[in-house]
């Protein structure tokens, strides 16, 4: 079940590709982070807001599935979806080619809330995040 979803686009730049002319595999994690930041901005609850509420969300688990390679100058459409916020934040990512509409990549992150001051795990989401998702 989707609690909140968003779409983000990124254009593959020359620095993102490897010697075969395709996106280097590690860059997909960077694109996931960009899409996640965009998702939180659209919720009006950013990483800065989290920090101000003494929360941080380090990635604890990540799954990825490479389906087809993206190439230089491709525009990637990244659909992000929050599927859980408690006891952990779980987000699903699906990358499509804007030109062909083919699915290129699937990803998933599970992030654990921690108290910024003590670094101890928290098992509830920030109140403002819950409120933002509820709107």
Contacts of 104 (CB under 8 A, 6+ apart): 66, 67, 68, 69, 70, 76, 95, 96, 97
Is residue 18 flagged as an active site residue?
yes
Instruction: Measure the CA–CA gap between 45 and 10, rounded to whole angstroms.
Output: 21
Catalytic one of 16, 18, 74, 115? 18
Residues designated as active site: 18
């Amino acid at each position: 079940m989707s609690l909140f979803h968003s779409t983000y686009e990124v254009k593959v730049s020359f620095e993102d590709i490897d010697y075969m002319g395709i996106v280097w595999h590690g860059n997909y994690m960077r694109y996931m982070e960009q899409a996640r930041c965009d998702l939180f901005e659209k919720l009006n609850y950013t990483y800065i807001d989290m920090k101000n509420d003494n929360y941080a969300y380090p990635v604890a688990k990540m799954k990825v599935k490479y389906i087809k390679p993206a190439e230089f100058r491709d525009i990637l459409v990244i659909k992000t979806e929050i599927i859980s916020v408690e006891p952990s934040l779980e987000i699903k990512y699906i990358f499509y080619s804007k030109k062909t509409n083919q699915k290129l990549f699937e990803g998933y992150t599970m992030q654990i809330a921690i108290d910024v001051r003590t670094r101890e795990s928290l098992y509830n989401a920030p109140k403002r995040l819950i409120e933002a998702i509820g709107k």
